[in-house]
A and B are shown apart, each in its own frame.
Chain A
Amino acid sequence: MDYFIELLFSGLTRGAIYALIALGYTMVYGIIGLINFAHGEVYMIGAFTALIAATVLSLWGVPLLAVLALAALAAAVWAAAYGCTIERLAYRPLRAAPRLSPLISAIGMSIFLQNYVLLAQTSEFQPFPALIPDLPLLEPWAAVVGTTDLAILVVSATVMVLLTLFIRFSRMGKAMRATAQDRTMALLTGINVDTVISVTFVVGSALAAIGGLLIASHIGQINFAIGFIAGIKAFTAAVLGGIGSIPGAVLGSFVLGLTESFATGYVSSDYEDVFAFSLLVLILIFRPAGLLGKGSVDKV
C-alpha cells in the first residue's frame, strides 16, 4: 500500500508537470485551432529566464522567497513577450493560409528558438537552484512527496481553477469563447480578435514559464532541448484529454502521468512510453476527440 501511494504521488507530480505545459497547448488550439509546437520552447525560455533572474537576485542577496516570486514574475513576463511575438511574426501573417502553413511555421519556430538558445546560451546542461525550500513540516513524508512536488501540484490545480473561472466569467474569457466558436461572427459583434488571440498567447506562455521555473527547480537542471521532450509529452496529454478543453488538458496530464508512474512501478520503466502511447491510441480509438473533447469535424 505504501508503495502504491508512493507511485501515486510520483504520477501526480508528473501529471502536474505535464498539465502546466499542456494548458498552453490546449488554450491556443481552442481559440485558433493551431498546434503551437513552439510552446515547449517558450517553457524552456521561461526556465532560462528564471535561472538568469534567480542567479542575479541571489548575488544581490535577496531573500529566497523574494527570489522565487521575482524570478517567476520575470520568467512569466519575458516568456509572455516571446509568446506574443511568436504569434505576431509566425502565425498572424498566415491566419488566412491553409491549415498546414501555420503548423509548419510553428515547427520552424520551435527549431529556431532551440538553436537560438543553444547559440546564445550554451549547449551544456546548467544547474538550476532549488528555489523552493524544503519545508521542515513535510520532512516525515519526504520519501513520498517533496515540497517542490507539492508546490507543482498546488500550482497546477490553482491555475486550472483560475483559468476556468477566467474563461467562464471574465469579459476577456467570453470574448475568447466567442472567437473560438466563430471568428468572423466575433469580429462582427465588435470583438477585437487580434487582441483576444494575443492575450491567449500571453496567458499560455506565462503559464509555461511558471511551469518552466517549477519543473527546472524540481529536476535541478536545464538546457536548450528540455522543451522538446516535455512539449511532446504535454501535447500528448492535451490530445488525450481532448485538445481545446482546459479541464481536459489537466485530466489528460494526470492520466498520462499516473499511467507512466504505475507502468514503471509495477511493470518496467523500459515500457513507460509504450504504456503511455498505447493508452493514447486506445482512447483515441474509442473517443476520437479525447476524454473531455467536443467532437468537431474540421479540426485536424
Chain B
Amino acid sequence: MKSRTLALLAALALTVACAAPSPAVDTAKPVKIGVAGAHSGDLASYGLPTLKAAQLIVKDINERGGINGRPVELLIEDDVCKPEIATNTATKLVSAGAHAVIGHICSGPTRAALPIYRAANIPVVSPSATTPSLTQGGEYPNFFRTIAADDAQARTQVDFALTSLKAKKIAVLHDKGDYGKGLAEYARDFITASGQAEVVLFEGVTPGAVDYSAAVQKVKRSGADTVLFGGYHPEASKIVGQMRQKRLTTHFVSDDGVKVDTFIQVAGKDAEGVYATGPADVSQNPLTIEYREKFRQAEGTDPGAFFDNAVAATLALTNAIAKAGSTEPKAIAQALRTEKVATPFGPISFDAKGEPVGIGFSIYQVRDGRYVQVQ
C-alpha cells in the first residue's frame, strides 16, 4: 500500500515537473486551460454555464487558428462544489498539465484548491467565488476573479456616502440577516477605517415588525446625516416611510436587495431620493448580447448563473495568454493585470490583488418613481 502511494506520488511529481517548465514556444503544443467547478450534483446549475461559456469561446478561438498559432484544449474537471473533492480536481488538473484554470465556482472549493495551484504556480480566474479573503489575504498572487467580492457593494456604498454625500455621521442599520448584516458589518469597518466619518449607530431591526419608529427616533437622536441600510425592500420601505413620517430628511443609502421596483411601488413618494447599489446593467453590451445569443443557439435556453462572468473570465484569460506570448505563469499573471480586455462588463483589468477593475456596483437613485444610475 505504502509503496503504491509512493509510486503514485513519484508519478505525480514527474508529470508536474514535465508540465511546468515549457516556456519554449512550440506552435504544435496545445494551450491547456482547466475548467473546474460544479458540473454535477445539486449546484451544477452554478457551474455548467461557465463550462459552456469556456467551450463557446474556445471553439471560436480554435476556428480562428488558436492562440498565437497554438490550439486551445480544455481540461474539464468536476468538483461538485465540495472542498474535499476540489483538492483532487486541482491535483488532476495540475498533473494533466493545465497552464491556467477557469474556476472554481463556489468559494469553499476555491479556497481548498488554491494552495495546490499556488504550489504549481498556475494562474486561476474564478467567475463566481465572492469571498473577500480569497484575494484580500494576499496569499494567492495568481488568483483573479471576474465577479465583485462580497464586500464590494459595501465599499461602493461607503465611498459614495463619503465622497458624494459628504457624510460625517453615518447610522448603519441592518435586518439581522446573513446578507444585510454581512454588508452592514463591512460598511461599518470601511467607514471606521477611512477615518473620514463616524459610525454613530450600528443596529439590527427585527424583520416583519409592525413599527420601526423607536429605531427611527434613535437614528434622529444619533444626529446621523446618512443612513446605510443592509437588507431587503420590505424593511427598507417601512424604515424610510417612518423616517419621513417623523420628518427626518436624512440620506438613505441601501443595497441590491432594495434596488427593485417593488420598493418604489410600495414606498411611493417616500422612495424619492433613496440611493441603492446594484450591478451595472450589462444587457446592452454587444459582447453580452453576442454570447447570450450563441448560448441560446447551442442550448435552446437562456444562460444561467455567472454566464457573463464566465465569458469575461475566459476572454480575459485567453487574451492574457495571447498578449503574454507564452504560457509562462508570470507572464500570464502580468498580462492579466496590465492588459485591458473587452468583456460583457466593458473593458476590464485586474488590480494587484486580483480583483476586477471595471466589474462592480453602481449607485442608483430613485427619481420620479424609477431608479436612475447616478454613479
- Decide if A and B are genuine partners: yes
Contacts from A to B (Cβ < 8 Å) = 3, 6-7, 9-11, 13-14, 17-18, 124-127, 142-143, 146, 148-149, 215, 218-221, 223, 225-226, 229-230, 233, 260-262, 264-265, 268-270, 272-273
Chain B residue contacts of A9, Cβ below 8 A: 213
**Which residues in chain B, 234-269, are within 8 Å of chain A measured between CB atoms?**
234, 237-238, 241, 245-248, 262, 265-268
Q: CA A221 – CA B270 in complex, angstroms?
A: 13
For residue B221, which residue of chain A has the nearest CB? A3
Q: Contact check, B266 vs A221: say whether CB atoms are below 8 A apart.
A: yes
Q: Contact check, B203 vs A268: say whether CB atoms are below 8 A apart.
A: yes
For residue A5, which residue of chain B has the nearest CB? B217
Q: Contact check, A11 vs B214: say whether CB atoms are below 8 A apart.
A: yes
22 CB contacts below 8 A, A to B, read: A9-B213, A10-B211, A10-B214, A10-B217, A13-B213, A17-B211, A125-B233, A125-B237, A127-B267, A143-B248, A149-B213, A219-B211, A220-B237, A220-B241, A220-B266, A220-B268, A221-B234, A225-B208, A229-B210, A262-B214, A269-B206, A270-B204
Instruction: Tell whether A265 pairs with B262 under 8 Å between CB atoms, given A142-B246, A220-B241.
Output: no
Instruction: Tell whether A127 pairs with B266 under 8 Å between CB atoms, given A218-B211, A219-B238.
Output: yes
* B218 contacts partner chain A, Cβ-Cβ < 8 Å: yes
Chain B residue contacts of A273, Cβ below 8 A: 206
Chain B residue contacts of A125, Cβ below 8 A: 233-234, 237, 262, 266
* B298 contacts partner chain A, Cβ-Cβ < 8 Å: no
Q: Give the Cβ gap from B188 to chain A, nearest Cβ, in Å.
A: 14
For residue A257, which residue of chain B has the nearest CB? B211
Q: Contact check, A261 vs B210: say whether CB atoms are below 8 A apart.
A: no
Chain A residue contacts of B211, Cβ below 8 A: 10, 13-14, 17, 218-219
Q: CA A220 – CA B211 in complex, angstroms?
A: 11
* B357 contacts partner chain A, Cβ-Cβ < 8 Å: no
Contacts from B to A (Cβ < 8 Å) = 176, 203-206, 208-211, 213-215, 217-218, 220-221, 233-234, 237-238, 241, 245-248, 262, 265-268, 270
Q: Contact check, B215 vs A269: say whether CB atoms are below 8 A apart.
A: yes
Q: Give the Cβ gap from B200 to chain A, nearest Cβ, in Å.
A: 13
Q: CA A10 – CA B268 in complex, angstroms?
A: 23
Chain A residue contacts of B247, Cβ below 8 A: 142-143
Q: Contact check, A270 vs B214: say whether CB atoms are below 8 A apart.
A: no
Q: Contact check, A269 vs B213: say whether CB atoms are below 8 A apart.
A: no
Chain B residue contacts of A218, Cβ below 8 A: 210-211
Chain A residue contacts of B217, Cβ below 8 A: 3, 6-7, 10, 265
For residue A215, which residue of chain B has the nearest CB? B210
Q: Contact check, B210 vs A126: say whether CB atoms are below 8 A apart.
A: no
Apart from A7-B217, A143-B246, A264-B215: 8 A-B pairs, beta carbons within 8 A:
A3-B221, A14-B210, A218-B210, A219-B238, A219-B241, A220-B241, A229-B210, A260-B214
Chain A residue contacts of B248, Cβ below 8 A: 143
For residue A219, which residue of chain B has the nearest CB? B238
For residue A234, which residue of chain B has the nearest CB? B210
For residue B215, which residue of chain A has the nearest CB? A269
Chain A residue contacts of B246, Cβ below 8 A: 142-143, 146
Contact of A221 among B206, B213, B238 (CB under 8 A): B238
Chain B residue contacts of A7, Cβ below 8 A: 214, 217
For residue B205, which residue of chain A has the nearest CB? A269
Chain A residue contacts of B266, Cβ below 8 A: 125-127, 220-221
Q: CA A18 – CA B203 in complex, angstroms?
A: 23
Instruction: Tell whether A269 pairs with B210 under 8 Å between CB atoms, given A220-B238, A220-B268, A221-B234.
Output: no
Chain A residue contacts of B204, Cβ below 8 A: 269-270
Q: Give the Cβ gap from B218 to chain A, nearest Cβ, in Å.
A: 6
Q: CA A7 – CA B219 in complex, angstroms?
A: 12
The 5 closest A-B pairs by CB, nearest first: A264-B214, A10-B213, A229-B208, A10-B214, A261-B214
Chain A residue contacts of B221, Cβ below 8 A: 3
Q: Contact check, A233 vs B210: say whether CB atoms are below 8 A apart.
A: yes
For residue B210, which residue of chain A has the nearest CB? A17
Q: Contact check, A146 vs B176: say whether CB atoms are below 8 A apart.
A: no
Chain B residue contacts of A262, Cβ below 8 A: 214
Q: Give the Cβ gap from A215 to chain B, nearest Cβ, in Å.
A: 6
Q: CA A18 – CA B209 in complex, angstroms?
A: 11
Chain A residue contacts of B268, Cβ below 8 A: 127, 220
Chain B residue contacts of A219, Cβ below 8 A: 210-211, 238, 241
Q: Give the Cβ gap from A140 to chain B, nearest Cβ, in Å.
A: 10
Q: Give the Cβ gap from A214 to chain B, nearest Cβ, in Å.
A: 11
Chain A residue contacts of B265, Cβ below 8 A: 127
Q: CA A233 – CA B238 in complex, angstroms?
A: 18
